[in-house]
Structure 1
Amino acid sequence: MASPKKSTGRQRLPTDERRAQLVDIASRLFREHGYHHVGMRDIADAANVKSASLYHHFRSKTDLLQAIVESVSEDFIASQEPFARAARDEEQCSGEFLAVLLRRQIIYLCEHADALWVADREINSLPPDVIAHVQRSRRHYQRTIAALIADGIRSGELRSSAPDLVALAALDMVNGVSRWYRPGRGRSVEQVADDYVALIIKDLLGG
């Protein structure tokens, strides 16, 4: 009887799931060792895949870095758009929709803290046209948040004399959570998100 084949330890995952897994692993390695000190072979070894498999998903390390940056900018912003559109189309409480967006942002970025760290520090390693595109997406999202705040001010639900400035302050606050939050050390990320959103809506915007 033939002896059973030994497992290689490699799992066959759907393409999108494998790609997301590789982005997470690369983000961790780039944060721990620096983008310029990690090679594609290092990432393949950490992911327990062959180098050829890694290159099947990403043509180069720059391509992989671009995917990391986009995961916490364009991909995240795209996931927020349906909620932002609903806020404007349904003409309901702007403060409630703003709270939903900011809460989702805190949780998402804390769950992808390595990617955010890498994106903030290594974005200039990308081609200029890619950087410009990412920055446009970020500015569009800032305007979306500012528009929600302005709607809330007009309805009397929120109070501020500078919605654009408050939007930037609020985004700085929620983006900063991932820099200090560590899971398993006290409050859950959901609890932290709730507390931060309450602070922004009630204390910063008088909602």
Structure 2
Amino acid sequence: MSPERRPATGETGAAVPMSRDARTRRRREEIVAAAARTFAEQGYASVGMREIADAVGVRGASLYHHFPSKEDILHAVCLTVTREPNEENLPLLDAAGTPAQRLVALVGGHLRHLHRRRTEHLVGLHEMAALTPAHRAEIDGYRRHYQRRVRDVIAAGIRSGEFTVPDARLATFAVLDMLNGLSNWFRPDRDLDLDTVVSGYVDLVVVRMLGASRCPSPSPE
């Protein structure tokens, strides 16, 4: 059993039962991950709730208990690559350090999250049109917020003289497009490992694209 799936243990070493809320969260995560793989393999339009239930190994009634529709599952998939990065990555932009240092940390966090959520990201790119207008608006809102926060840091770097690009908005689109492109080509079984890719992307983004005189180390904790 992998460490993240191992039951929690108390001081005596006995397994501590998961709370009902924790079990529900885990089951929802399992459904979203299995659905993303199924959508990626077969296409959203070709997949029904029965196929998703089979992929998770649950009965249809159990699946409907967690998600009332297939579209709600797709919405949850899209949240893993929009709301989740807002929650996990944007705090890196609030840390101490110069704009360049904070952007270095953001590039690393963004790429590592994207690698972990590669399937979900590709599904979101190809199947976004199937979302309801309300869900699409929510997803777009998270994306715009993320873009705005990155733009603000690049703009701060331009004001401080660290970055030499003339347009923070245009630079933001270029940086995020480059980072998101990782999901199209990177595979862990190829010659490059993720740490090497992160290091290379940091240099490409901060020094070569944004014009910093050198690539700073992230600010210490």
Query: Structures share a fold, TM > 0.5?
Result: yes
Deviations 1:125-146 (A, max 9, x none): 1111211121122111111111
- Give the 5 Å matches for 1:68-83: 68-83=77-92
Report what 1:3 is aligned to: none
Aligned residues: 192
- One-letter code aligned to 1:50: R
Q: Which runs of 4+ in 1 moved over 4 A?
A: none
SS at match of 1:14: helix
Separation in structure 1 between the aligned mates of residue 169 and residue 181 of structure 2, nearest angstrom: 18
Report what 2:135 is aligned to: 130
Report what 1:153 is aligned to: 158
Q: TM-score, normalised by structure 1?
A: 0.87
- One-letter code aligned to 2:63: L
Separation in structure 2 between the aligned mates of residue 30 and residue 135 of structure 1, nearest angstrom: 21
Deviation of residue 35 (structure 1)? 0.3
Deviation of residue 17 (structure 1)? 2.1
Separation in structure 1 between the aligned mates of residue 183 and residue 194 of structure 2, nearest angstrom: 10
Report what 1:32 is aligned to: 41
* RMSD, aligned CA: 1.5
Worse overlay, 161-170 or 191-200:
191-200
Report what 1:178 is aligned to: 183
Q: Pick the aligned partner of 2:203 from 176, 181, 198.
A: 198
Q: TM-score, normalised by structure 2?
A: 0.82
Give yes or no for the alignment of 1:97 onto 2:102.
yes
Separation in structure 2 between the aligned mates of residue 148 and residue 52 of structure 1, nearest angstrom: 47
SS at match of 1:184: coil
Task: Structure 2: give runs of 5+ residues left out of the alignment.
Answer: 1-17, 213-221
